[in-house]
Amino acid sequence: MTDAPLTPREADDALAAEYVLGVLELAERSAAEARIKRDPAFAAMVRGWETRMEGLNDDFKPVSAPDLLPKIEARLFPAAPLAPARRGFGLTFGWLSGAALAAVLALATMATLTPPRPDLVATLATADNRLAYRITHFGAALQVTRVAGVPAVAGQVHELWIIAPNANPVSLGLLQDRPLVVTYPEPPAGFVFAVSVEPEGGSPTGQPTGPVILTAEVGQNT
Amino acid sequence: MTADDGGDGADTTAPRISLFAQDLAIPVKIRNVCRMDDPVAQLIAQCAAADRAAFRTLYRDTSAKLMGVLLRMLRERAEAEDALQEVYTRVWVRAGRYDPAKGRGMTWLIAIARNLAIDRLRARPEAHSDDGLDTVQDAAPRAETQLVARDEVRRVADCFDTLDPDKADAVRGAYLNGLSYLDLAARHAVPLNTMRTWLRRSLLKLKECLDQ
């Protein structure tokens, strides 16, 4: 190896290695972390280094750990689930009075028949399109319709979240058989929708607890 | 049998047959590519399907290894135990993002534990975390002396041998003990920038060897 300056690609790769090693100071480390989130090529370099260094993991000798499971589970699965999910955003079809339901249906119907049509806000789909939700905005409401796939298996439910930039996810409700309609302003580009798998009744914590299976950013790939 | 055996599959018990394969609600990606030779990966996939029993098994099978990681890096038992709770919380929440096609389950778990430990080390007010490390490091057998059977580990060891011993020690010290550039520069008595140039070159050289 010569003393020639690193090429940009080498420099990126070295940065990925430095991140994985953990030698960076806090500010640089945070910057690298942010880059992992927005730059898939860099994220792949980081993964490459994690794999490259995995041979060193044998040097970490197991040390018996106390049984912290009860504490961890108490954190993840609080015993008394609150009525989750719809706090502050309420309004699934099930919650609507008959008249309001009719009004929403009328709006939805009009929307499909006459312009202006509902704006397509985002599509959440797996890569193979076996599960897909379509999110449109019309009037003052978001409507979320499953266009492919099946609801979660018994005992679980898909929960929809909206995430403003640099904010925590906020639940918009549970995605079940019927389309979900929630009053919500039209989300600007950069907002992210996510669907997580939650226990029946929705997340017990008000934040996603199960795996996030779908995400889509407003303004991209709709 | 120790917890770290779980990451390697080949020398452990037969792979578990998990329920998630029949569970149509859960990430297709994981169902399709899950490695049957990696029991830890399977448990993580089951966690992604919100299987709490699998989560308990995962904790039982892997917490000693992750405690080893956290204790070695953080060097304080109370903090390591606190970090361990946080690690498993992250594991549950992020399980759906784990892609078995891109790495072993244990490697993913250790990456989460190391990243948390490093974040905490870097957030500590004192600049150096080097105190008392010599004994820790000397007491721990080097990676290359312990292992014979496993190809990838031997490969790492061989490649470390292509580096100057000083530089190999720096890489190992950073990875295993969480040393920062500041720590390493002090330890090797060189200016910070020199340390960084050294280490970057060594890493790229290591990569060249490992990727051959």
pLDDT at A82 over 90: no
* pLDDT of amino acid A153: 81
Domain boundaries, chain B: 3-123, 133-210
Note the pTM of the prediction, 2 decimals: 0.58
Q: What is the pLDDT of residues A111-150, one digit of tens each?
A: 444 334 567 889 998 877 788 899 988 767 788 988 888 8
| Strand positions, DSSP E, chain A | 119-125, 132-138, 141-148, 156-163, 170-175, 180-183, 192-199, 212-217
Distance of residue A124 Cα from the nearest chain B Cα, in angstroms: 13
pLDDT at A155 over 60: yes
Closest residue by Cα to residue A155 from B26, B4, B208, B96 = B26
* pLDDT of amino acid B107: 95
The count of other CB atoms within 10 Å of the CB of residue B126 is 8
Are the Cβ atoms of A197 and B65 closer than 8 angstroms? Answer: no
Task: Measure Cα distances from A177 to A78, A158, A220, B61, B141 in Å.
Answer: 27, 11, 26, 38, 58
Strands A156-163 and A170-175: antiparallel
* pLDDT of amino acid A156: 87
Burial of B56 (0-12, 13-18, 19+ CB in 10 A): middle
* pLDDT of amino acid A143: 86
Residues 5-44 of B with CB under 8 A from A: 7, 23-29
Are the Cβ atoms of A127 and B29 closer than 8 angstroms? Answer: yes
The structure tokens listed for A120 are 């397509």
CATH number of B3-123: 1.10.1740.10
For residues B72 and B198, give the distance between their C-alpha atoms in angstroms, rounded to a whole number: 25
Which of the listed ranges A147-156, A198-207, B66-75 does the model predict with the highest average pLDDT?
B66-75
For residues B195 and B186, give the distance between their C-alpha atoms in angstroms, rounded to a whole number: 9
Cα-atom radius of gyration of chain B, to the nearest Å? 19
* pLDDT of amino acid A168: 80
Residue of A nearest to B1 (CA): A62
Q: Is B189 on the interface with A (CB under 8 A)?
A: no
* pLDDT of amino acid B200: 95
With bands split at pLDDT 50, 70 and 90, how would you rate the model's confidence at A90?
Answer: very low
Question: Average pLDDT per run of 10 along chain B, which is 212 residues long?
Answer: 38 40 39 63 91 94 97 95 94 89 93 95 68 42 40 79 93 95 93 95 93 84
* pLDDT of amino acid A185: 76
The count of other CB atoms within 10 Å of the CB of residue A47 is 19
Domain boundaries, chain A: 8-59, 78-217
Structural contact between residues B113 and B82, judged by C-beta atoms closer than 8 angstroms = no
With bands split at pLDDT 50, 70 and 90, how would you rate the model's confidence at A100?
Answer: low
pLDDT at A91 over 60: no
Burial of A153 (0-12, 13-18, 19+ CB in 10 A): middle
Are the Cβ atoms of A1 and B81 closer than 8 angstroms? Answer: no
Contacts of A157 in chain B (CB under 8 A): none
Query: Which DSSP string corresponds to B61-115?
Result: HHHHHHHHHHHHHH--HHHHHHHHHHHHHHHHHHGGG--GGGS-HHHHHHHHHHH
What is the architecture, at CATH level 2, of domain B133-210? Orthogonal Bundle (1.10)
A60 closest CB neighbour out of B48, B49, B65? B65
* pLDDT of amino acid A154: 82
With bands split at pLDDT 50, 70 and 90, how would you rate the model's confidence at A97?
Answer: low
Are the Cβ atoms of B153 and A58 closer than 8 angstroms? Answer: yes
Residues 145-164 of B with CB under 8 A from A: 146-147, 150, 152-157
For residues B190 and A144, give the distance between their C-alpha atoms in angstroms, rounded to a whole number: 59
Percent of residues, chain A, with pLDDT higher than 70: 79
